[in-house]
Structure 1
């Protein structure tokens, strides 16, 4: 990227916050409400990042009504308590302070329903650092990361050549590359080096302190 990015887009789960307990707990609740035994923890972890409508069919099959019901049960628990079950990754506060100090604009781009995401970000100690939060609406099933990154660029008048997308899953990387945005993968979340590399990450970092150099 020529010079520092003027716009830095962050994924939420697995990038800014460790939300495993709240998300997997809500997934477990949803499946048990349908009398379905939840898969092992490592499978549930792999579902963090993709849209719920893409994950639940792995155990519920192609029955769209049951998938919709599972998503409804998920949101019931998540809206009640799951949204608050997270911790901020070490080093994130300092990273955002540095980006803000050097004049970069910051936004969140997540597959989480936007109303939930905005609620979470508003309660984070650094939530005020973000100009906007982008995510699918409660009625939308098909908002891909590529679509959401495009929405962020359009809304914030971002120049793709001076924008970076930071995330822990291939969806973040693919969404960035689809919009000609620099794609930076992080390894403290729920993805892997292999997943991020295959998706085409321009850079992969192991700690927040390495991100400034990767941008």
Structure 2
């Protein structure tokens, strides 16, 4: 008898979920700020830049939409040439994607990054062939967010939407999925704060790629036990 998986389709965030982009993003943000005469940010400050829309982060820091436009342009100049390659795939991700696809589960990318570097990263690291479609932000859309990105995939998901889960590392993934009444598994090995992820009440938390594999590979008969997985991690302090 063929095993029936709990999920028929999985949407993956990119940064902090499939790959660790910190070096490229951090260096590109600081390059952009230097071009505008702004002080560099520390690594601790830069961790919070992975996940939110880039223009929003620059605007919050600089306090001026026009300066944010300039910063984004400088950022993209460096990131597209160098920064996107200053990136690593989390160990175990290629094998996980290969096994999920072999099991007949439909795989997608849903990221608030813009499309050109997203496609280049996936191609460079040999991941693009695993995905049926990539949902990303148009380069001219400064307000692109995760809910909007997920929404563009709904027609493609069709009837599988009811058996779809979002996987991401920030509260933006959780809230974006919830906008469309979609569950989200939050990975805590990325760049979201554990406390924030816990309080946002995702379907489950995964501290490692191995744990994520267990959650995504669960079959329909046993998945009802998985929401308790979050509680087993204890409340945040």
Q: TM-score range by the shorter chain?
A: over 0.9
Q: How do 1:166-205 residues align onto structure 2 when only pairs under 5 Å count?
A: 166-205=167-206
Aligned to 1:43: 45
Would you identify which runs of 4 or more consecutive aligned residues in structure 1 move more than 4 Å?
Answer: none
Alignment of 1:59-208 (within 5 A): 59-61=61-63, 63-157=64-158, 159-208=160-209
Task: Check the 8 A contact 1:110/1:135 in 2, yes or no.
Answer: yes
Q: CA RMSD in A?
A: 1.4
Instruction: State the shift of 1:189 in Å.
Output: 0.7
Q: Is contact 1:170-1:191 (8 Å) kept?
A: yes
Change (3 A) 1:80 1:198: same
Measured against aligned partners, the alpha-carbon deviations of 1:57-109 in whole angstroms (never above 9, x if no partner) come to 23211x11111000000000011111111011011112112211111011111
Normalising by structure 2, report the TM-score: 0.86
**Aligned twin of 1:212:** 213
Q: Is the 8 A contact 2:52 2:112 kept in 1?
A: yes
For residue 11 of structure 1, the aligned residue among 13, 20, 23 is: 13
Unaligned runs of 5+ in 1: none
SS at match of 2:139: coil
Aligned residue for 2:113, secondary structure, equals: coil
